[in-house]
Amino acid sequence: MGGGSEADFMIHGIMKYHLFGQELWITTTTVGMTIITIVLLILAFAANRAMKRATEVPGTFQNILELGVEMLEKMTQGILGPSARRFANYIGTIFLFILFCNLSGLFGLRTVTADFGVTFLLGLVTFAIVQYQGIKNHGVGHFTGLFKPLPVLFPINLIGEFANPISISLRLFANMLSGVIILGLWYGMMPIFVKIGIPAALHVYCDLFSGCIQTYVFCMLTMVYVNDKL
């Protein structure tokens, strides 16, 4: 183990500031989210510009965009059916955001979704959309349904409603954090000669493979929860 340095997989504070009397920090997560947001905005503007100038013989970028839209339509229609168009924009947005956050470790950033504050907020947004659709489509029945099929099951049904956003946020967080910890331990504790080559395979699994799978799972579960209230 000689030559290794201290393992580091924690969230670090970069700059401290005060707001309304509270001490707040800009952390590595904040930096990562900012960079990803800027990249996604640039891609969005570029995509909008490309589609406005779309030609009958598409170029590479236009082909990628059209393929992405077709895949998004198939994914949403498979779960949401006729309501797919209403939620395609949201599902597409969180898919790209979570995917880029999961892959951020490949570019030297601490994986953004390895911060429970990020994944929990995503879960809360899903929870809000699900509850809104339930009230909109079923009215009072959205609440009385918690007493079915038997009134005695109300506590279990209620816990289930609140467990959904927690479960999807914890699933995403735990899977990505495990990759951060494994890579942090490897880079921090292994000798220098095993830090070349081998970590590439770890990044492929922990960041690329697991990141893509968890993005897909989060979006699929979101659509399942929403579809249950339609």
105-156 pLDDT, tens digit each? 888 888 999 999 999 999 999 999 999 999 998 888 888 888 888 888 888 9
DSSP single-letter state for residue 134: H
Q: What is the pLDDT of residue 221?
A: 93
- Which residues, 6 or more positions from 165, have their beta carbon under 8 angstroms from its beta carbon? 120, 123, 124, 126, 127
Tokens linked to 133: 């659709």
Q: Can you say how many angstroms the Cα of residue 85 is from the centroid of all Cα atoms in its chain?
A: 21
Burial of 192 from C-beta contacts in 10 A (0-12 / 13-18 / 19+)? exposed
Q: In terms of residue numbers, what domain contains 222?
A: 13-227
7 in any annotated domain: no
Tokens linked to 81: 């059916």
6 in any annotated domain: no
65 in any annotated domain: yes
3 in any annotated domain: no
Q: Of all residues in the chain, what percent are helix, strand and coil, respectively (each to 5)?
A: 75, 5, 15
5 in any annotated domain: no
Answer positive or negative: Cα dihedral of 133, 134, 140, 143.
Answer: negative
9-67 pLDDT, tens digit each? 788 888 888 888 888 888 999 999 999 999 999 999 998 888 888 777 777 888 888 88
8 in any annotated domain: no
Give how many domains the chain has, as a whole number: 1
CA dist 219 and 94 (Å) reads 7
CA dist 217 and 102 (Å) reads 13
- Quote the pTM value: 0.87
2 in any annotated domain: no
24-35 per-residue burial string, b: 16 or more CB within 10 A, e: under 16: eeebbbbbbbee
1 in any annotated domain: no
